[in-house]
Structure 1
């Protein structure tokens, strides 16, 4: 089994910095968004939301790339999605559930900007509540000053938060397995030919895998998310490390421009990708935080120190064992496996230095045959059972 000495030292010497989003009351009502508009004026760009209730709003700037993040209570988005999403400094916008009771709108902007004002107007002249912000171009220095001030405030909140107690392993449960359903909330992941979102597929398989493992007294499965909410990559890793996990399984489903490509692939961590396709898939997966409006510049994935380096080498060896067991089990399930089915690249979600971790690409949503399997309850159950079989084989091999 994985060297417990390394885990003990690492858990007491490393701190997982988890991004804290502004919180709202647990009983916040769901607010209807009935309209969204972009307006271009002589010296500013305006972003407007019409809403059924008065919202609590938090607005801040992010760099690398340039973004404006708007956090609100949970939204029921009824606005016309076909309306233009680009005007003035705004290049695009997206929205979705960020955490329970918190929705997030992210505006992509084309350079350094400043927020002239942020206003909530009460109902008037037949209009509902209106929230708008006026945005204006600014210089880089002023923009970065605003970003740094916000970052200090966020760090102060993190320091003030009491540390979360480790997850207790129930009596009789031996192996802690983290099941990570990729994407979620504001980040839909890949989109299939039929329009199905990757985040829905991954959650379905993860829930089925969780159900299978929970029935076995040898395992204590923990899901990083059990609903359609967003988790940053760092938060996913933090769940595994905080639980003292023995294994981390991240579940995904890819999409590619070639609809003839199909089959499952299993990835393990390496700073050097095994091939161009692996590098591109890792790049896409690592964009999840960018899509969700996470402050990327505040994150440091560098693993330093001799002890940590040794621990991660041992972890990677165990990760390879898991990958080599998952591939033949998936092949037995009826899902095709790719040539060179075990690949490696720099997936940030696999970077816990003390937890063996793999990322399973179940298949290609861009391929009709794969998508049909991935969307079906039977197909999801077979894939979940295949992964469960591999998990059992892995623990039998490393901890008989």
Structure 2
């Protein structure tokens, strides 16, 4: 524990981030407390620059994060995996890496990590040599696996309690939705996940596993992997939503269907399913993984059980919270595509609605809402035990 505390205290810090447009390039500068090792690479479809660095303390407040400039449309940063922080630059067009280097402290400025990119045509991008598609420090950055590499502890022999897998949506370099006051979906989802875990464990009836317990990125397929490693009996993914109309508010629950219940459900699923792209994953070689996830959506038993649980959730939560119109909806969310584990995705409310965002921040409301969800989980398993007696 002391070693872990020392390592946490010793993490280098990002002190400032700047983006500048120049006649022949776009420049990203990170001011750091220490000189970093780094790895820079480009990804197409959509075009992105991905920058991996040692795990950092992001000391820059959200209000100081620069907007895009030049070839950069937007940027995100956060923990990608234990030991690795990641910056992802969304691009307006193809680019090549012009240079990447670290400047030592000078004239009162700390270490500066600089990446220069230059806009090019698609033809030039496709014809570029490997050295223009990335860069790395002289001392290479150590390769890390995603956070799901950690094996879930096996269920103790003789423990017959149902296993509930709670998935806090987004995380790390993928912030999710942003509220009207700057509240990030990834932070809110984790708070609600921890509250639900605490309430379920307090009953003594359930074994509870979190897909993540801190602000770290998890690939969509890894969330499913964790649920299977844990031998989950129910998978609950927690999220919060945004809407262009700030009047929209309310709680909703989604179950799997390739045919969405409405246009908004279809749009929401498309947005959530882009999480791996947002975090800088190269999906060009993931066809086999995707095929495995989609291997058999015809296992109707788990989908039917998910639908049954969703109905219980609507009944319980509807007594303590505002519900979205038609609160049980259907869409093709990637995290719901386990063929063996009943799964739901819950949108606890809308961060784009000022009153609802304020309510979602409230600890008392969080406790009340997760208490209703905890009761619905208890009801669901009680019903299943009753049915299984006959």
Cα distance, 1:42 vs structure 2: 4.4
Going from structure 1 to structure 2, the CA distance change for 1:144 and 1:247 (only over 3 Å counts) comes to farther
CA distance in 1 between partners of 2:301 and 2:130 (Å): 42
CA distance in 2 between partners of 1:28 and 1:121 (Å): 24
Contact 1:63 1:297 in 2 (8 A): no
Going from structure 1 to structure 2, the CA distance change for 1:27 and 1:297 (only over 3 Å counts) comes to same
Contact 2:97 2:132 in 1 (8 A): no
Task: Please state whether the residue corresponding to 2:232 is helix, strand or coil.
Answer: coil
* Equivalent position of 2:296 in the other structure: 308
* Equivalent position of 2:33 in the other structure: 52
- Aligned to 1:77, which of 45, 59, 62? 59
- Aligned to 1:351, which of 337, 340, 344? 337
Structure 2 residue 73 is the aligned partner of structure 1 residue 86: no
* Equivalent position of 1:64 in the other structure: 45
Cα distance, 1:305 vs structure 2: 11
Task: Please state whether the residue corresponding to 1:321 is helix, strand or coil.
Answer: helix
Q: Deviations over 1:206-229 (max 9, x none)?
A: 111101111233311001111222
* Equivalent position of 2:85 in the other structure: 103
CA distance in 1 between partners of 2:102 and 2:249 (Å): 49
Contact 2:78 2:174 in 1 (8 A): yes
Contact 1:233 1:348 in 2 (8 A): yes
Contact 1:67 1:106 in 2 (8 A): yes
- Aligned to 1:290, which of 277, 286, 292? 277
Q: Deviations over 1:116-144 (max 9, x none)?
A: 32211222343321111222234242469
Going from structure 1 to structure 2, the CA distance change for 1:131 and 1:114 (only over 3 Å counts) comes to same
Structure 2: gaps spanning 5 or more residues: 1-5, 136-142
Q: Deviations over 1:230-253 (max 9, x none)?
A: 222122111111212111000112
* Equivalent position of 1:181 in the other structure: 168
Q: Aligned ranges for residues 255-274 of structure 1 at < 5 Å?
A: 255-274=242-261
Structure 2 residue 29 is the aligned partner of structure 1 residue 43: no
CA distance in 1 between partners of 2:129 and 2:160 (Å): 49
Structure 2 residue 112 is the aligned partner of structure 1 residue 127: no
Q: Output the TM-score relative to the length of structure 1.
A: 0.82
Structure 1: gaps spanning 5 or more residues: 1-24, 151-155
CA distance in 2 between partners of 1:258 and 1:330 (Å): 23
Q: Deviations over 1:175-229 (max 9, x none)?
A: 1110011122222222223332222221121111101111233311001111222
Q: Aligned ranges for residues 202-351 of structure 1 at < 5 Å?
A: 202-300=189-287, 302-303=290-291, 308-311=296-299, 313-332=300-319, 334-351=320-337
CA distance in 1 between partners of 2:230 and 2:265 (Å): 29
Cα distance, 1:80 vs structure 2: 8.7
CA distance in 2 between partners of 1:52 and 1:164 (Å): 29
Q: Output the TM-score relative to the length of structure 2.
A: 0.84
Number of aligned positions between the proteins: 369
Structure 2 residue 358 is the aligned partner of structure 1 residue 372: yes
Cα distance, 1:173 vs structure 2: 4.5
Going from structure 1 to structure 2, the CA distance change for 1:55 and 1:254 (only over 3 Å counts) comes to same
CA distance in 1 between partners of 2:92 and 2:204 (Å): 53
